[in-house]
Amino acid sequence: MKVDTQNIGPCKVKVIVKAEADETRKEYGEVMKAFLREGRVPGFRPGKAPREIIKRAFHKEITEEVQGRLFRTLYKTALEQAGVKMVALLDVNDMLFSPETGITFTMTVDTEPEFDLPKYKKIPVSFDEPAVTEEQVDEQIDRLRKAFAKFEEASPEYVIAGGDLVSIDFNGLVDGQPVHALDEAAKPISEGTGFWVQIEDGRFIPEVLNALVGMKAGDTQEVKFKFAKDHPIDALRGKKAVYTVTVKSVRMRLPTQDAELLAQVKLESLDQLRDHTRARMLESAVQAEKHRREQTVIEFLLKKADFDLPESRVAEEINNTLDRMMNEAQYRGLTREDLEKNREAIIENASVTAKRQLRLRYLLGRIAEQEGITVSDAEVDAKIQSLADEYRSTSAQIRAQIEKNERMGQLRAQLRDEKTMQSLLDEAKK
């Protein structure tokens, strides 16, 4: 068999295959036997029609069957012979076969990227010891108190304070026009009647929330400010706005008593609450530090290695990334219209993220190969059991689901990448 290759783009190769008649004779003979045995021709009993008549009557069908068999038999061998590491078969064309001359065909394939590994041992990484201060524990418990707080209708003389719930009428203008005239996406913050908002950071327009502190039910105030230059809605960035705000009613936040707080968290004492809070915060700090160290390694590798990627894998990764981003966006309450409006930005972000993840995967895979890092069946079993415990299922059910979705290879690759990352951290220059 003769195999020639042509590079036709980044990670894309055309493979031209030629197999002589003696290399195709076996498959051709087997197909002919099947048609001689089963082919039906008027005037002849099954299996009794002469060979030449069968060849003429079923020429197209015989040729297609032989071509299919030969392609399935030859293409992997041809790729190995040419040293081509295929990740996706894009096209097969120019296929010609005859019993006298053999077969020729051309494949277009995406290939694995070629790149030199950067020096990955002794990557400089700072190792900070995760810690939780008593002040941080106090702050977290204070957040718990606020989360479990109750609200009570306030008297007309009550002055609004932080944390209170306030019902307001509001109307916002930019250059004399309603805020939503600049962009329909701004409608929720353009105007409202009987709109309930809590006086907490991030709950509404910061300048309006600040203005509400100190007001009473029935008060009206005009609030002037500029929208932030990094506002999520482009059309509002840096624009001067005038909001008219009227307080309709107020529900003041009541402090949560220790007994109420302990009952909510089902603990017996404040000491237990502090211990429990400290332990959870330390666990989060450990995970955050682990993530920071890994990101240091990732940034080092990506900065040192920039290479082309196979288009088919990029497209697949972009689709997966888009699915995750869409699910997260819908979970945050964004509508289909919001998503469609930001379609281009979403796709651009997904493309950048997908290429970054794919390039990192190739780097970690190559390092694992270089270092002989593999994943055992026992490690796979342990991971499946861990997933079963997390989702309150059985390992058999989780394994069946993974195999049904053909994700076992992905699970092994994920475990291999995790082991490789840990190896890089173990050898990092501290």
Long-range contacts of 217-222 (CB under 8 A, 24+ apart): 217/154, 217/156, 217/158, 217/247, 217/248, 217/249, 217/250, 218/156, 218/246, 218/247, 219/246, 219/247, 220/244, 220/245, 220/246, 220/247, 221/245
pLDDT at 330 over 80: no
Residue 317 has pLDDT above 70, yes or no: yes
At 391, the pLDDT band (50, 70, 90 cuts) reads: very high
Q: Which of 90, 111, 132 is the last residue of a domain?
A: 111
Same domain, 416 and 308: yes
- Give the angle subtended at the CA of 318 by the CAs of 316 and 324, to the nearest 5°: 110
Same-domain status, 250 and 165: yes
pLDDT at 335: 67
* Residue among 205, 260, 264, 203 at smallest CA distance from 233: 205
User: Helix or strand or coil: residue 86?
Assistant: strand
Q: Is residue 342 part of a domain?
A: yes
Q: Are residues 325 and 415 both part of a single domain?
A: yes
d(CA 285, CA 292): 10
Query: Are residues 156 and 225 both part of a single domain?
Result: yes
Mean of the pLDDT values across residues 264-268?
93
Check residue 308 and report its DSSP letter.
Answer: -
pLDDT value of residue 326: 76
Q: Give kind and range of the element (H or E) at residue 391.
A: none
Our count of domains for the chain comes to: 3
For residue 157, with 0-12 CB atoms within 10 Å meaning exposed, 13-18 middle and 19 or more buried, which class applies? exposed
Whether the CB-CB separation of 203 and 209 falls below 8 Å is answered with yes
Residue 338 has pLDDT above 80, yes or no: no
CATH number of the domain encompassing residue 24: 3.30.70.1050
| pLDDT for 193 | 96
Asked if residue 378 is part of any domain, the answer here is yes
Q: Give the domain-ending residue among 47, 81, 111.
A: 111
Between 57-71, 222-236, 266-280, 337-351, the lowest mean confidence (pLDDT) is in 337-351
7-11, 241-245, 350-354: lowest mean pLDDT where?
350-354
- Please give the share of the chain, as a percent, with pLDDT higher than 70: 98
Average pLDDT on 181-186 reads: 91
Residue 25 pLDDT > 90, yes or no? yes
My answer on whether 73 and 186 are in the same domain is no
Same domain, 174 and 106: no
Cα 39 versus chain centre, distance: 52
Please tell me the predicted confidence (pLDDT) of residue 342.
Answer: 73
- Rounded Cα distance, 177 and 37, in Å: 84
Torsion (CA) 308, 312, 318, 321 in degrees, nearest 10 = -110
Boundary of a domain, candidates 81, 111, 141:
111
Strands 2-9 and 102-111: unpaired
93-117 residue pLDDT tens: 999 999 999 999 999 999 999 999 9
Residues 308 and 417 in one domain: yes
Q: Which residues contact 319 (CB under 8 A, 6 or more apart)?
A: none
* 230/189 Cα distance (integer angstroms): 16
- Report how far residue 55's alpha carbon sits from residue 29's, in angstroms, rounded to the nearest whole number: 12
Q: What was the pLDDT predicted at 336? A: 67
336 or 310, which is more confident? Answer: 310
With respect to residue 341, please indicate whether it lies within any of the assigned structural domains.
yes
Q: Are 154 and 249 contained in the same domain?
A: yes
> Which residues, in sequence order, are CB contacts of 405 under 8 Å at separation 6+?
none
Average pLDDT over residues 219-226: 97
Give the DSSP per-residue string, 351-369: HHHHHHHHHHHHHHHHHHH
**Which of these, 161, 183, 160, 197, lies nearest to 241 by C-alpha position?**
183
Compute CA distances 111 → 7, 259, 304, 310, whole Å: 10, 65, 22, 6
Asked if residue 366 has pLDDT above 80, the reply is: yes
Arithmetic mean of pLDDT, 130-146: 94
Tokens of 373: 């890092």
**21 burial class (0-12, 13-18, 19+ CB within 10 angstroms)?**
middle
Beta bridge partners of 169: 246
Q: Which of 213-217, 324-328, 336-340 has the lowest mean pLDDT?
A: 336-340
Estimate the share of the chain in helix, then strand, then coil, as percent rounded to the nearest 5. 50, 20, 30
Confidence of residue 378 (pLDDT cuts 50, 70, 90): very high
DSSP string for 133-195: -HHHHHHHHHHHHHHT-EEEEPPTTPPP-TT-EEEEEEEEEETTEEGGGT-GGGGGGTEEEEE
Are 198 and 308 part of one and the same domain? Answer: no
pTM, entire model: 0.74
44 and 105 in one domain?
yes
Q: Rounded to whole angstroms, how far apart are CA atoms 97 and 79?
A: 20
CB contact at 8 A, 211 and 241 = no
User: How does residue 197 score in pLDDT terms, banded at 50, 70 and 90?
Assistant: very high
Cα torsion 322, 327, 328, 330: sign: positive
Determine the Cα–Cα distance for residues 168 and 205; give it in Å rounded to an integer: 13
Examine residue 363 and state whether it is found in any structural domain, yes or no.
yes
Q: What is the mean pLDDT of residues 327-338?
A: 70
The label of the residue with tokens 């990740």 reads 87
Position 211 in a domain: yes
Residue 347 within any structural domain of the chain: yes
Distance of alpha carbon 166 from its chain centroid, rounded? 39
> The domain that contains 186 carries what CATH number?
3.10.50.40
Same domain, 332 and 246: no
Map residue 417 onto helix, strand or coil. helix
Q: Following DSSP, what letter does each residue of 229-282 receive, concatenated?
A: TT-SSGGGTT-EEEEEEEEEEEEEEEPPPHHHHHHHHT-S-HHHHHHHHHHHHH
Q: 327 pLDDT exceeds 80? A: no
Residue 383 DSSP code? H
CATH number for the domain spanning 319: value is 1.10.3120.10
Confirm whether 296 is domain-assigned. Answer: no
Q: What is the mean pLDDT of residues 340-358?
A: 85
Please report the pLDDT score of residue 253 as a whole number: 94
Is 358 part of a structural domain of the chain? yes
Average per-residue pLDDT for the chain: 93
Q: What is the pLDDT of residue 333?
A: 67
Does residue 422 share a domain with residue 311?
Answer: yes
Residue 199 clears pLDDT 70, i.e. is over it: yes
Domain that holds residue 348: 304-426
